[in-house]
Structure 1
Amino acid sequence: MEKTGSIETFERLFLREDGFMREIGRTPPAKQLQEVRNDLLTETKRVGRSGNLSLILASEKAFLQNDLDRHSTSPSMVSSLRIALTEITAAEAQLEKVRDPEAYKSTDADYSLPKNRIHGLPKDQARQFFSSHATRLLNLDRSRLSPEEKHLLDQRKVNMRAATGLYEALQRDALGLPQKDQGRSRNKGMER
C-alpha cells in the first residue's frame, strides 16, 4: 500500500512524540512519579490480598474520587465517574444488607426472576456495580498509559474480581446456600 503524505507526517510526529516521552521519563519528577505509582501498586495489592470486601470497596472508591477530583478531563469522564461513585455507594449499602440474612431475604425476593440472577444469586446493586465497574476499568486500559499506570489498573481489576467472589460468598451465606468449590475459583492465583 502506498503511503500518502499524511501517513508519513503521522509517522514522523509519532517518532518525535516518542523521543520527547523518553526524555520526560528520565527527569527527576518522572522518576519520583514512578516511585509513587509503585507505592500505590504495592498498597493496592495489599488491599486485594486482605480478603476484606469493605476495604477493597473503600480503596476503589478512593481511586474513583481521586480521578474525579484530579484527573477528569471531559464532561463524559466526569459523568462516568459520578455514576461509578453513586453505584459504589449503593454497593456499600447492599453489603450491609447481605451481612444480615434476614434483611437480605427481601433482596432475594426482589431479584427472583431468572434474568435478575447470576448463577442462582441475585444480581443486586452490588453485583451490578461489580459488573459495570469491570467494564469501566477495562475501557481505561489504553496504549498511552505508562507501565506503572497499566500495572495499577490491572491490580484494580484483580481486586474487583476478588470483591465479586467475596460478595458472592456473602450472598450464599445470607441465602443459606453452599459455597462454591474454592479450588476452581477464577480469582485464585490472579494476583499480579
Structure 2
Amino acid sequence: MTNSLKAAIGELSAAERHIGIVDDPQKYRAVDQAHSLPRNRKGGLPLDEARQALASHYTRLNNLDKARLVDDEKKVIDARKTAVFEAVKLYTARQAKTLGVDLAQGKKRGNRL
C-alpha cells in the first residue's frame, strides 16, 4: 500500500501545480494546445495532469476493499471520494473559465465531464 500512497501524493502534487497554471490564460493556452487530440479531451476541455491525477485518485479510493473496512473507515473513504469529485467539478469550471468554454452547452449535448 506504500507504493499506492506515494503515487497518490505525487499525482495530487501535480494537480496542485496545475492550479497555478489553469488560472493564467497565456500559460494554460499551451496546455490546451498540447491536449488537442479527442482522446486527450473530455467535455471540450483538456484532460491535463490535474484531471488525470484526480481521476486516478478517485479510482484508487473506489478500489479499496471496503469489505475489510469498518463503518467509520467506509465513511471516511466515501467523504474523500465526494471531496475528489467536487475538486474535479471545481477544476473543470476553472478550465472552462480560462478557455472560454460554456459547460452548459456540453451538458445540453449529453457530454459528461
With structure 1 as the length reference, what TM-score do the two structures score? 0.53
Shift of 1:120: 1.2
Shift of 1:141: 4.3
Aligned pair count? 107
1:121/1:172 contact within 8 Å kept: yes
- In the other structure, the counterpart of 1:138 is 62
Distance 1:142 1:162 in 2: 22
Distance 2:102 2:69 in 1: 42
Greater relative contact order (CA < 8 Å, ≥ 6 in sequence): 2
Deviations 1:23-46 (A, max 9, x none): xxxxxxxxxxxxxxxxxxxxxxxx
- In the other structure, the counterpart of 1:57 is none
Distance 1:156 1:112 in 2: 31
- In the other structure, the counterpart of 1:80 is 4
- In the other structure, the counterpart of 1:173 is 97
Amino acid at match of 2:52: Q
Q: Give the match's secondary structure for 1:112.
A: coil
2:55 maps to 1:163: no
Please provide the CA RMSD for this pair: 1.7
- In the other structure, the counterpart of 2:51 is 127
Amino acid at match of 1:152: V
Amino acid at match of 1:107: V
Q: Which has the larger radius of gyration?
A: 1
Distance 1:141 1:98 in 2: 34
2:61/2:81 contact within 8 Å kept: yes
2:11/2:54 contact within 8 Å kept: no
Q: Give the match's secondary structure for 2:104.
A: coil
Distance 1:114 1:178 in 2: 18
Amino acid at match of 1:102: Q
Unaligned runs of 5+ in 1: 1-76, 187-192
- In the other structure, the counterpart of 1:150 is 74
Give every structure 1 segment of 4 or more consecutive aligned residues whose post-TM-superposition deviation is greater than 2 Å.
none
Cα distance 1:118–1:179, how it changes in 2: closer, same or farther (>3 A)?
closer
Distance 2:78 2:59 in 1: 12
Q: Percent identity?
A: 45
